[in-house]
Amino acid sequence: MLKHTINQLQAMNFYFLCTYKALSMQRPFNISPRNTLKGRHKEIYEFELPDHNIDDKVVQSFGEEWSKFHQFSQEDIDQLGEMYFDIITDEMVNERTYGFDLGCGTGRWTKVLTSRIGFMEAIDPSDAIYTADELLKNDDNVRLSRASSDRIPFDDETFDFGMSIGVLHHIPDTQKAMRNCVEKVKKGGYFYTYLYYNFEDRGFLFKTLFGIVDGVRQVVSSLSPRLKKFICDIIAIVIYMPLVLLARLFNKVGMDSIAKRIPLYFYHDQSFYIIRNDALDRFGTALEQRFSKQEVITMMKHAGLDDIVVSDGAPYWHAVGKRVR
């Protein structure tokens, strides 16, 4: 009985120490929030959104998208997380790291890092921040803010690590938004990003196909939220799934090199939920920009990063760099 009580006290002590250590990493905001919203689980600090370098329609559409797609299974998150974070080392992210996730959406990538990182500021300007509140409800080392790239509410050189995954290409001036992020990272700290690639290594046929798909995106993204979701579900079934099934078939019969050439191969081992979510993401968003590997590297250099590592693996391009100036 006594031993059991001592064990319980030790466990409680350990929990409080960890929580204290994580919370003591937080730095104060450098602007006062205009509001403190009550999420179901955490407080959400809401900041004034600037009227430049943000596309309001895009932000609203993501708020709608993430409120429909936020129930990722742990398996989905872990599997994709391994692909996204293949270039993140323990030196970049560990229990002493203070980080931020700009454009966190549902908070799924913050979630992947919470067990590795000291403390994380999860930031998003859209209603998605409420879904992040749900997903991250048990993570004491996360604080939620509603803010945007142009006004990240912390002093420059505050963080050891920053990330922005699948976000900067939806912001009108991607380079500026990247610089805004990197400014918040300390010299010697790291910034990680994922930006859509422009199919630079693909042939004429693939690029023509993409041109058509992009035209469809521009039409679909202008529809009402319900119609958009409906059309994107149809696209997931009639366009994504046949290609995904074909890629799976080639993989099964050992013809991997052919499978990899099939458009949307990336999804061959993803769940239908992820496929539907990504169809809405791809076709439902009015503004997207695409970059070559070299353009990504150049932008990262201009933002003040060096020692840049671009992953050879999908999704393309995800890259990390060290802040040098």
Contact positions vs ligand SAM (CB under 6 A): 54, 58-59, 62, 102-106, 108-109, 124-126, 128, 148-149, 165-167, 170-171, 281
d(CA 285, CA 223): 10
Nearer to ligand SAM, 145 or 259 (CB): 145
Nearer to ligand SAM, 176 or 202 (CB): 176
Nearer to ligand SAM, 59 or 231 (CB): 59
Determine whether 142 is exposed, middle or buried from the number of CB atoms within 10 Å of its CB (0-12, 13-18, 19+). buried
Shortest Cβ 44–ligand SAM spacing (Å): 14
Nearer to ligand SAM, 170 or 268 (CB): 170
d(CA 79, CA 318): 16
d(CA 236, CA 220): 13
Q: Tokens in use for 237? A: 């079934």
Shortest Cβ 97–ligand SAM spacing (Å): 18
Nearer to ligand SAM, 259 or 282 (CB): 282
Shortest Cβ 258–ligand SAM spacing (Å): 29
Nearer to ligand SAM, 259 or 299 (CB): 299
Determine whether 6 is exposed, middle or buried from the number of CB atoms within 10 Å of its CB (0-12, 13-18, 19+). exposed
Place of tokens 């009550």: 38
